Amino acid sequence: MSVAGRAAFLAHRAYAHRGLHHEGGPIENSMPAFSAALAAGYGIECDVRLSRDGIAFVFHDAELDRLTDTTGPVATRTAVELDAIALKGGNGGIPRLSALLSLVGMRVPVLIELKIDAVREIAPLCRAVLGDLSEHPSQAVIMSFHPGVGAWFAHNASHIVRGLVMSEENARGWAASLRRRLDIAGAKPDFLAYDIRSLPSPTATRFRAMALPVLSWTVRTAQDRARAAQYADAIIFEGAASDG
């Protein structure tokens, strides 16, 4: 299926989920993982969270515990404090988004997932990400599970390509389907990033029928890859499932 629109350049690619990481090698969302993805020619997917003083850092979890030898929430630390925290396994520090964008430049697309906790405002992280995107030319796009992120960018920075991350796990039935329709209407996405476990999906099929791209996460097996080839336009992968 051919795709159109502002996000068409995202299709027919493989994106390394949190960089190209594996056990005994680079850790997820680290500069070594991103460098490895670049060296292999893959696009990059990453997660961002906000420091206490408004700087976007590349980190998936709300808490520091799993990936560092420090404990506690990312959100309670200043940028200077986060800069001083090392990732496990000798993988350097927690990257700032600005550092990742500077590393990648225009070489490959970057999918930036904004992580919004239920108790946090949307706008501060959106503003921080927009500031970094404005200062670092790139093929980066934004996406989030939270439809408010897409809505914020549609209103404040409509030139940025935006996506909505979706899953139907534990969200079946007519009420969940209506919620997905409302989320898409609110976020006004240029693309969807869809849970591979939820494909095929009427929601994703309708989106693709409009010639808009659907990316699928997280592709880990040959079976996942075959499903994505039929029902999606690109893969976000981990492990050996990289032949998109």
Please give the average per-residue pLDDT across 168-177, as a whole number: 87
pLDDT of 244 higher than 50: no
Mean pLDDT, range 106-122, rounded to an integer: 92
In angstroms, rounded to a whole number, what is the distance separating the alpha carbons of residues 188 and 148? 10
Q: Which residue has the higher pLDDT, 147 or 118?
A: 147
Report angle CA 214, 216, 222 to the nearest 5 degrees. 130
Helix, strand, coil shares of the chain, percent, nearest 5, are 35, 20, 40
Q: How far is CA 70 from CA 54, 66, 82, 84, in A?
A: 20, 9, 10, 11
Identify the CATH number of the domain in which residue 99 sits.
3.20.20.190
**Would you place residue 199 in the very low, low, confident or very high pLDDT band (cuts 50, 70, 90)?**
very high
* Mean pLDDT, rounded, of the chain: 95
> pLDDT band at 11, cuts 50/70/90?
very high
Domain extent for 96: 8-237
Secondary structure of residue 203 in the 3-state scheme? helix
The verdict on residue 2 lying in a domain is: no
For residues 186 and 150, is the Cβ–Cβ distance under 8 A?
yes
pTM value is 0.96
Report whether pLDDT(53) > 70: yes
How many residues would you count in the chain?
244
Nearest to 20 by CA among 201, 241, 216: 241
**% of the chain beyond a pLDDT of 70:** 97
- Segment 17-36 shows an average pLDDT of 95
Quick one: average pLDDT of 198-220? 97
Considering the domain boundaries, does residue 244 fall inside one? no
* pLDDT for residue 71: 97
pLDDT over 70 (residue 241) = no
What does the block give as tokens for 87?
Answer: 């990732």
In a domain, 1, yes or no: no
The answer to the question of residue 242 being in a domain is no
**Cβ-contact 215, 238 below 8 angstroms:** no
Residue 135 burial by CB count (10 A; 0-12/13-18/19+): exposed, middle or buried?
A: exposed
Tally the domains of the chain.
1
What is the C-alpha R_g of the chain? Answer: 17
Residue 195 lies in a domain: yes
> Does residue 18 sit within a domain?
yes
